[in-house]
Amino acid sequence: MSVDVYVNFNGNCREAVEFYAQVFETGQPQIMTFGESPPNPEYPLPEEAKSLVMHTRLNIDGSNVMFSDVFPGMPFIQGNNISLSLVTADEAKIKAWFPKLKEGGKVGMELQETFWSKCYGSLTDKFGIEWQLSYDTGEFGM
């Protein structure tokens, strides 16, 4: 079983997902816009919604993360209700991802050894998304 995360953006989803694809070296994402969805004559699509991202996803080190823009007029609160946690036994990946994610963002905790991880750090990226990166080989039982 896996838990997939769905992250909403307020018109800048394409920029965000392309940035994450570069950071995590996932390859170019397939992006579906609202304008590419089948038309419904009962609910005409507003012009400003046509180029917005309806759905895309990335597989980041074995975890699916899905993304979309909110539909125009829908409420949006940037990044305050999610935190993405990347746990891996590959310390080199953590050390490669962290400096890329922190560009233009704000570090909560620099990469360091903690009681639960030999290499842990947290930050909020330039899109307002909170990330936790943690090295875990199963040694700490977490």
The tens place of each residue's pLDDT in the chain, 142 residues long, gives 355 788 999 999 999 999 999 999 999 999 999 999 988 888 899 999 999 999 999 999 999 898 999 988 888 887 666 778 888 999 999 999 999 999 999 999 999 999 889 999 999 999 988 899 999 876 644 4
Nearest one of 14, 42, 133, 120 to 85, comparing CA atoms = 133
| Residue 19 host element (H or E) | helix 13-23
Residues ≥6 apart with Cβ < 8 Å to 97 = 23, 24, 86, 133
The domains found in the chain, sorted by start residue, are: 5-69 (3.10.180.10), 84-135 (3.30.720.110)
* pTM for this predicted structure: 0.76
